């Protein structure tokens, strides 16, 4: 299932919301990052590892893990953390001050008005210390419980959104909308499993992956759609295709495009297919393996649809309003 595309949509919708004061970090390619939170972060090989791998793919270099840290306390709330200790970076083995600190609160901090007030006060104190250290601050908006949790409440996500957005705006901190991503994903696909089914609280590996996509997008302001990272083939994009095929009673065949023969494939594209431009190679490569498997006489696809819709580079540069998107609609 193409969860990456879903996260882009969710991220984009939130990013341009009029509710948000800080919509982007000043430094959009930080390498020295500190995560502070609880088990919502460290489940499933830890969210910070997934985000790091995505950033490394985008940065085209490895991140020094001595300055990329996670500090968590099981079951903790925001005020349980002594942030002075990790911000004094040498005390946790870092070589340089952190550039970005991501703060995640506890799930119980939305329960009552008094607890939400404690969260607000705690975040103000923490963010002030983060800014004083020279780092930027971001708030990791948590997800809500689902039905298998005894305290699941439809109003919980409303309280979460309000609490994090207000804290972010008050303290000039970026809000990373993971909770909204979960909410919208469940609304679009009710059968999706983003939580551990046994407790309805902690994220599943898919939930952590979706959260990592949102964190990546929030940090870099880039779409995660072009990333190859899928947790070592654990997250499978073909699941949604299978689901849709069953729904419409279509035949389905998964075609794996190998990457262990790239040199020979490159010269085949160059000499036999006569590819010349970079885009020729990029677009034709997968079809070396797809075309031989097509048995149908006619194929309906969305190839080149971006040109008709007016979002291609040529259309943007050369065609004015009313000549592309409006005609397509």
| Residue 38 tokens, joined | 């609880």
Percentage of the chain beyond pLDDT 70 is 83
Is residue 163 within 8 A of residue 119, CB to CB? The reply is: yes
Cα gap 100→82, rounded to integer Å: 17
| pLDDT at site 158 | 94
Q: Which residue has the higher pLDDT, 72 or 17?
A: 72
Q: Is residue 82 packed enough to be buried (19+ CB in 10 Å), middle (13-18) or exposed (0-12)?
A: exposed
39-61 confidence digits (pLDDT tens): 999 999 999 999 999 999 999 99
Residue 111, pLDDT above cutoff 80? yes
The separation between the first and the last C-alpha atoms of the chain, rounded to the nearest angstrom, is 27
Is residue 38 within 8 A of residue 74, CB to CB? The reply is: yes
- Taken as a whole, the chain contains a residue count of 329
Percentage of the chain beyond pLDDT 90 is 63
Dihedral sign, Cα of residue 156, residue 131, residue 102, residue 75: negative
Is residue 197 within 8 A of residue 168, CB to CB? The reply is: no
Residues 313, 318, 324, CA angle at the centre, nearest 5°? 80
| Residue 246 tokens, joined | 């069953």
Q: What is the mean pLDDT of residues 263-287?
A: 93
Cα gap 230→249, rounded to integer Å: 28
Cα gap 21→173, rounded to integer Å: 8
| pLDDT at site 9 | 47
| pLDDT at site 200 | 97
Please report where in the chains the tokens 């969860």 appear, as a residue: 3
Q: What is the mean pLDDT of residues 265-292?
A: 92
Instruction: With CA atoms as reference, report the closest residue to 142 among 104, 103, 193.
Output: 104
Least confident span in 150-164, 191-205, 236-250: 236-250
225-247 confidence digits (pLDDT tens): 778 898 988 887 676 566 667 66
What is the SS3 string spanning the chain? Answer: CCHHHHHHHHHHHHHCCCCCCCCCCCCCCCCCEEEEECHHHHCCCCHHHHHHHHHHHHHCCCCCHHHEEEEECCCCCHHHCCCHHHHCHHHHCCCCCCCEEEEECCHHHHCCHHHHHHHHHHHHHHHHHHHHCCCEEEEECCCCCCCCCCCCCCCHHHHHHHHHHHHHHHCCCEEECHHHHHHHHHHHCCCCCCECCCCCCCECHHHHHHHHHHHHHHHHCCCHHHCCCCCCCCCCCHHHHHHHHHHHCCCCCCCCCCCCCHHHHHHHHHHCCCCCCHHHHHHHCCHHHHHHHCCCCCCCCCCCHHHHHCCCHHHHHHCCCCCCHHHHC
| pLDDT at site 327 | 59
């Amino acid at each position: 299932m193409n969860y990456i595309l879903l996260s882009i949509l969710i991220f984009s919708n939130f990013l341009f919301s009029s509710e948000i004061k800080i919509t982007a970090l000043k430094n959009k390619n930080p390498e020295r990052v500190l995560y502070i939170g609880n088990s919502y972060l460290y489940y499933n090989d830890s969210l910070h590892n997934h985000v790091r791998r995505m950033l490394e793919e985008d940065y085209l270099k490895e991140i020094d893990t001595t300055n990329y840290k996670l500090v968590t306390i099981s079951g903790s709330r925001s005020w349980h953390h002594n942030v002075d200790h990790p911000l004094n970076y040498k005390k946790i083995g870092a070589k340089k001050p952190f550039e970005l600190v991501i703060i995640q609160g506890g799930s119980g901090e939305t329960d009552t008005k008094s607890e939400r007030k404690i969260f607000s006060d705690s975040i103000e104190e923490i963010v002030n210390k983060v800014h004083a250290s020279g780092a930027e601050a971001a708030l990791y908006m948590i997800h809500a419980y689902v039905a298998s949790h005894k305290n699941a409440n439809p109003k919980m996500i409303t309280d979460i959104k309000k609490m994090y957005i207000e804290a972010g705006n008050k303290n000039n901190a970026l809000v990373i909308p993971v909770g909204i991503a979960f909410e919208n994903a469940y609304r679009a696909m009710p059968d999706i499993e983003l939580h551990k089914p046994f407790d309805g609280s902690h994220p599943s590996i898919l939930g952590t992956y979706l959260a990592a996509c949102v964190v990546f997008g929030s940090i870099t302001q880039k779409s995660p759609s072009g990333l190859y990272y899928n947790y070592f083939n654990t997250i499978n994009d073909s699941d949604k295709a299978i689901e849709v095929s069953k729904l419409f009673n279509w035949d389905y065949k998964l075609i794996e495009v190998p990457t262990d023969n790239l040199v020979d494939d490159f010269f085949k594209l160059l000499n036999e297919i006569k590819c010349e431009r970079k885009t020729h190679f990029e677009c034709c490569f997968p079809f070396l393996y797809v075309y031989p498997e097509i048995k149908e006489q006619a194929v309906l696809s969305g190839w080149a649809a971006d040109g008709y819709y007016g979002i291609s580079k040529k259309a943007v540069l050369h065609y004015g309003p009313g000549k592309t998107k409006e005609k397509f609609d």
